[in-house]
Amino acid sequence: MFDIGFMELMVVGILGLLVLGPERLPKAARTVGLMVGRVRRTMSNIQDDLERQARTEELRKKLENPYATFLDEEDDNRMLPARNQSNDATSESQVSLPAASDATPDSPAPANDQKPS
């Protein structure tokens, strides 16, 4: 984070010793260490919150358009008309099912028209 070498640390330590004195220097160093730790934790929490918010927004966008997770936007626009055409083709070629009035739950299924031989 900071590019501080051994000589810079010695200069800061000697200046702190001269300004604060040997009695107050350990307490001041402890206080500075606690404050630096508190600032690091706060910054880490803020970064985690921002990442969580970004992931939440990304998930919301994916839920709005589920095809976007698998296709690019250009592919999605090209595929939508093809999907609609294929749905129309399959609906025309589907076999018609008997109407609900032909068979009721109480009546047996219709028999084949073949006569026994």
Tell me if 22 is assigned to some domain: yes
Tell me if 94 is assigned to some domain: no
Tell me if 109 is assigned to some domain: no
What is the per-residue pLDDT across 31-51, written as a single tens digit (0 to 9) for each?
Answer: 999 999 999 999 999 999 999
Domain count, the chain: 1
The answer, as to whether pTM is greater than 0.75, is no
Structure tokens at 12: 């800061």
Cα separation, 111 vs 117, whole angstroms: 15
Residues of the chain where predicted confidence (pLDDT) is lower than 50: 89-93
What pLDDT, on a 0 to 100 scale, did the predictor assign at position 43?
A: 97
The answer to whether 110 and 103 have CB atoms below 8 angstroms apart is: yes
Tell me if 1 is assigned to some domain: no
DSSP string, 11-40: HHHHHHHHHH-TTTHHHHHHHHHHHHHHHH
